[in-house]
Amino acid sequence: MPIPQKKTKEQPKTARERVYTEVREWIVNGTLQPGEKISDQEISQYFSVSRTPVREAIQMLSDQKLVDIFPGKETRVAPLNTDEAVSTYRIMAELHALAVELAYPKLTKETFEEMKRADLLFCNAEKRKNVEEASQYDQFFHDIFLRLAGDYFLSEFTNILLSHIQRIENIYYKKSDSVSFESHHDIIAALERQDLPAAKDAMRNNWIHTLERVQALEQETDR
């Protein structure tokens, strides 16, 4: 019988990596709200580490514009900037269109099955208005292309942008009872008929339509 390859043992994370990963998640999922003060002392106590790796992690978050550092004063979670969201979504749309192009020669029957399975789970979660599950399956679908593209910088750039996008969506989706998502049917259909330009356009539209929904939710919140 075919023996699966032994998984590479995951390297233990450094204190800085653990703090960065967890605090980033708190900011993205809304546990830490925009403008909230961050105490490196409290965080160091929470993780049972010194303040040095905490400060290093916070600096990484600052580099990604997720926190604002006011030297000698305080550190706060960066405010939401919905004006910047427009350019963030548009850049993300182009990066994922590129991922489709790079992944295209590597598509297989198994890949299409994986895409359809992810989209089905995504659509089922959307029907139940389960925001968390829908977001997870949406990310799983898009990650298929990033994985096949196999470009380190493309993955890194999209991951940084994704943290800002997820943060915006988590905050606005939690404030609305009328959340809807954009399916991936057009992307899959274009790829099945081997129309790469149409597939790239469909991927761009997928992100732009999401932006339009977020803007609509923002208008609802401001009323």
Give pLDDT tens digits for 152-175. 999 999 998 998 888 887 776 665
Q: How far apart are CA 167 and CA 165, in angstroms?
A: 5
Give pLDDT tens digits for 102-116. 999 999 999 999 999
Confidence label for 127 from pLDDT (cuts 50, 70 and 90): confident
- Please, which residues bridge with residue 76 across strands? 37, 68
Say if strands 37-38 and 67-70 run parallel, antiparallel, or are unpaired.
Answer: unpaired
Structure tokens at 133: 């599950």
Give pLDDT tens digits for 39-65. 988 999 999 999 899 999 999 999 999
- So what's the pLDDT on residue 222? 58
